Chain A
């Protein structure tokens, strides 16, 4: 991890160190350089000056020697003159002395010339300045030439200053000369003047070597260059008064500045900047200059400076490097500290800062490291704690999860095995019981713990567990049960010896924990987990397992309850079925005597009318009314029981709403008139069609309308139908409003309950079963709708049927087609209409297609109710009726048809997979066909039915009385009768004329009924003649089955009075013929 380090500190240190070290170095170097430069310069100047002074003093000495020579020469003359002076008085003598003096002087002069080669001429001037003697190397000596030099500078100079040196002058333009004149003293007025060649000075000057290009030169008092190594310059007789160095040298001096001003840098004589140093020769007023080109002079200085600069640069470089190093060194540990702090700060607690500076930084780092270590310790401590807590939490979550799942299993499934396996699986997983676990259920009957669910238990051991049949007190399981507390065996090896010990050890189990399943302090089982490692089970684990045990208890309890409930439910279902069956049966059973009551009463009523016995009419009417009420009740109960048993089906079909309402209005018309009520229909014009069970809706609506009429007198019953859309669904509402007695709120409350009318007394006053509303409402509810009611006591009530326009989604296409077919069939005149009733759409279609092809007009009904309705509506030529139909079975429909005077003449053919011909015939069926249907036969049958019916009966009976009685009754009813006293005769009769029906006694001499039947059926032409058995014989089952299929019907003689039997025969006979007719056709073919 590379941290971005702020560079600030390093830069600061670096700059600081650079300034410090570099600055000091630079300053010291500069100072050093400055002073050394100055010193070096001064020493150079001094050197040059020394040279100049040396030259000056040499020149001076040289000139001084010459002056000395001159003086000494002059001294000789003085000596001579002193002699002469001593003898002042002796003037005469003075001439001689003067001569001697002159001579002496001449000698001196000559010597002088000889001794001093520089002097080229010596002159002696007298007091007046007249030349007395002249000795010259170049010219002839002259004595007392008298040449006047009194104004000559040498004379004047010498006179005033004893010694006079003239400026330099040249002879022959090449030889420099000066004139030196001396006077012996102030008193003496004579002057000796010598012309001196100063070429020697040139040599002196030339000798002075000053560096490469340096040179010396001399200026005389007039600042004329008199000596220079370059003679051309000298001979140019340059006047250097204007030269700065000369000016400086000639300038008056102040003491202090003397030394400093001893050199001048100016343009040299030979061009270029030059250093000029001078030395004065005061006696002569001359200046000796030593001049060097500056570059040359200061070359060493520059070298030194360059060296110094190089050294300085090196020093600075070193200083920079050192500073960097130092700054690095200073910053590095801080960096490491910062770095370390950052790493520790970012969580790397293992990091240690390595600083070995041995100073405070190291101390700081050490302290930091110690803190980090402590932090690491505390953090790892904390981590351990957190880990521990997390583990605990995870564990609890797992436990919660497991318990949750177990709870869910317990509550969501009733399969005990599933639940127990779920429980033991979680228990084993959570408790890490590596040797698995088992849940036992305690069988109280046998006292044995049965293993119910195992997890992670080998099949072999499961077998052992099952075979062990552990009892109370045995092994951990039995002990925990006895103690009603958890029981553990921490080490099976050391545990007590039980018969489970060895199997356990063989399985590698070392520790066992058993928790009892307790329900209300009764043991119902145990939960056991096993481990392969010996050791105590923790309390928390025990608690956990107790939880699982509780769940197991719940599960077992639930399962037991469920079993009970299921059993009860089954019993209830059976009971309910029995009840429904009972009710259905009872209804039939009740109807039978009721039929007799109604029938007989009607008969009596008719008799009373015929016999004009008016007083009997009223009681008979009362009986009839009560009986019919009872019949209605029974019918309602039957409907209700079917609804209750769920056997009432809804047959959805598409139909127009308006006609249905009109139909109901028509039906109620008479009743309304009787109560003085007006029926008002208030329907929108576009009611259209709906898809529902038309029959049920008609029934419900009729119920409401008739109720409204029943409870209203001289008022109005309004039927209002609407289509409404609610919640995206279309509804049809049909409201029936009356202006009758209305209902109290309490009455409204239990209005729809079965058997409850608004008031118990209304039953007496208004009749009705109290079931109609309940049934109607059930119908509507079955179709997804309902019936609602609003009412005001004394003002009237409104009952509203509310139904979805589309009920369900049951086979819409076929149902619609059904209805269409029905309408079509009904509308087709000319051809005979056959009503085909079956709940199976396929059967309907097949029969319909077949019969239609055979020229029948077919109307289909999808159920018993519809069949009844259509039968009433259409009065078909014949009806084929399925026996097993869900809503209203064939028996009921048949009974209803035969019970309805308007319909009873319609021949009905039963079609069924159930072979119950006798029952069918008993109920008045014309024929009974077993499915699958022989279509050709059905067609033949129907053709015969639709044709004319025969009226010829053959009586076969050995009892004369019986024959006579029957003949009477039959002839009275319009039958043509022929007789036979036994089977053989009957066969003969058959050969004569073929009857439409045979009435056969079974027990006869010669040939009994059975034989006759066999014989007759063996003849193809007679085979299909219907036979009605009338016998006093108590038939065995075997005999019945022999007859079955051969005879149309069996009537018992002796069971009833003769007249009754006769009536029955008269009633039954035509129908039997209907059947026989069809058989005949079949037989003929």
Chain B
């Protein structure tokens, strides 16, 4: 199962990409919002992990575009943010995110959410 991880922080990419791969997922990385939108269309992942604070095009806007495009609108999007304030959750959901999780990532919890949105994935 392919997951698109849209994130600009190297350390985070390094960490989460590895852990997701160990969990049995195919992971593709996009480093900004625009790239994320493009890759969502091109890669047609089973799920998108979207960091909200992104260069070029931020996560909310990227999600909005993904959810607006008929080719990608069905792809579930989980928003990831380091800002654990409540407002972010609403902002993410308003943009069309299907779920929301905070950094630092609790992998078990995240996997649970992935499982819920894209059943059958992972090893």
Interface residues of A (CB under 8 A from B): 618-619, 622, 625-626, 759-761, 764-765
Contact = CB atoms under 8 A, between A and B. Distances in A.
B81 to A, nearest CB: 11
Contacts of A765: 8, 55
B14 A619 contact: yes
B8 A764 contact: yes
A625 B12 CA distance: 13
B55 A622 contact: no
Contact of A761 (B10, B15, B55): B55
Nearest to A764: B9
Interface string B1-38: 00000001111001100000000000000000000000
A625 B53 contact: no
A588 to B, nearest CB: 23
Contacts of B53: 760-761, 764
A580 to B, nearest CB: 23
A764 B11 CA distance: 9
B54 interface: yes
B11 A622 contact: yes
Contacts of A760: 53
Name the residue among B10, B11, B14, B53 with the largest chain A CB count within 10 angstroms: B11
Given A619-B14, A764-B53, 4 more contacts: A618-B14, A622-B10, A760-B53, A761-B8
B55 A625 contact: no
A759 B57 CA distance: 12
B114 to A, nearest CB: 23
B60 to A, nearest CB: 13
Interface in B50-84: 53-55
A626 B11 CA distance: 8
Contacts of B14: 618-619, 622
A761 B54 contact: yes
Nearest to B12: A764
Closest 5 CB pairs of A and B: A761-B55, A764-B9, A622-B11, A760-B53, A764-B8
Interface in B77-94: none
Nearest to A759: B55
Given A760-B53, A761-B54, A625 B11 contact: yes
A768 to B, nearest CB: 14
Contacts of A626: 11
Main secondary structure of the interface of B (DSSP, over half): loop
A765 B8 CA distance: 8
Contacts of A759: 55
Contacts of A619: 14-15
B57 to A, nearest CB: 11
Nearest to A625: B11
B35 to A, nearest CB: 13
A981 B98 CA distance: 68
A261 B19 CA distance: 186
Contacts of A764: 8-9, 53, 55
A618 B17 CA distance: 14
A886 B9 CA distance: 38
15 contacts: A622-B11, A622-B14, A622-B15, A625-B11, A626-B11, A760-B53, A761-B8, A761-B53, A761-B54, A764-B8, A764-B9, A764-B53, A764-B55, A765-B8, A765-B55
A760 B14 CA distance: 20
B110 to A, nearest CB: 19
A926 B45 CA distance: 61
A754 to B, nearest CB: 16
Nearest to B53: A760
Nearest to B52: A760
A625 B9 CA distance: 13
A761 B53 CA distance: 6
Nearest to B83: A760
A760 B53 CA distance: 7
Contacts of B55: 759, 761, 764-765
Nearest to A622: B11
A619 B11 CA distance: 8
Nearest to B7: A764
A31 B54 CA distance: 147
A391 to B, nearest CB: 70
A618 B54 CA distance: 24
B62 to A, nearest CB: 13
B18 to A, nearest CB: 9
A626 B15 CA distance: 12
A622 B15 CA distance: 9
A758 to B, nearest CB: 12
A765 B55 CA distance: 9
A760 to B, nearest CB: 5
A619 B17 CA distance: 13
Contacts of A618: 14
A618 B8 CA distance: 18
A619 B54 CA distance: 23
Contacts of B8: 761, 764-765
A759 B15 CA distance: 24
A248 B116 CA distance: 190
A626 B103 CA distance: 14
B47 to A, nearest CB: 23
Nearest to B11: A622
A619 B55 CA distance: 24
A759 B55 CA distance: 9
A101 B10 CA distance: 226
A740 to B, nearest CB: 16
Name the residue among A618, A622, A760, A764 with the largest chain B CB count within 10 angstroms: A764
Contacts of B15: 619, 622
A180 to B, nearest CB: 192
Nearest to A629: B11
Nearest to B33: A761
A625 B11 CA distance: 9
Contacts of A622: 10-11, 14-15
A597 to B, nearest CB: 13
B80 to A, nearest CB: 13
A923 B89 CA distance: 43
Nearest to B54: A761
Contacts of B10: 622
Contacts of B9: 764
Contacts of B11: 622, 625-626
A618 B53 CA distance: 25
A137 to B, nearest CB: 201
Nearest to A619: B14
A619 B9 CA distance: 14
A619 B53 CA distance: 23
A766 to B, nearest CB: 11
A41 B58 CA distance: 160
Nearest to A760: B53
Contacts of B54: 761
Nearest to A626: B11
Nearest to B10: A622
A760 B11 CA distance: 16
A761 B6 CA distance: 13
A764 B14 CA distance: 14
A135 B53 CA distance: 209
A765 B11 CA distance: 11
A953 B6 CA distance: 58
Nearest to B9: A764
A760 B8 CA distance: 11
A619 B8 CA distance: 17
A619 B15 CA distance: 8
A619 B19 CA distance: 13
A984 B3 CA distance: 71
A759 B32 CA distance: 14
A665 B58 CA distance: 37
B104 to A, nearest CB: 10
B88 to A, nearest CB: 12
B106 to A, nearest CB: 17
Nearest to B51: A764
Contacts of A761: 8, 53-55
A614 to B, nearest CB: 15
Contacts of A625: 11
A760 B51 CA distance: 12
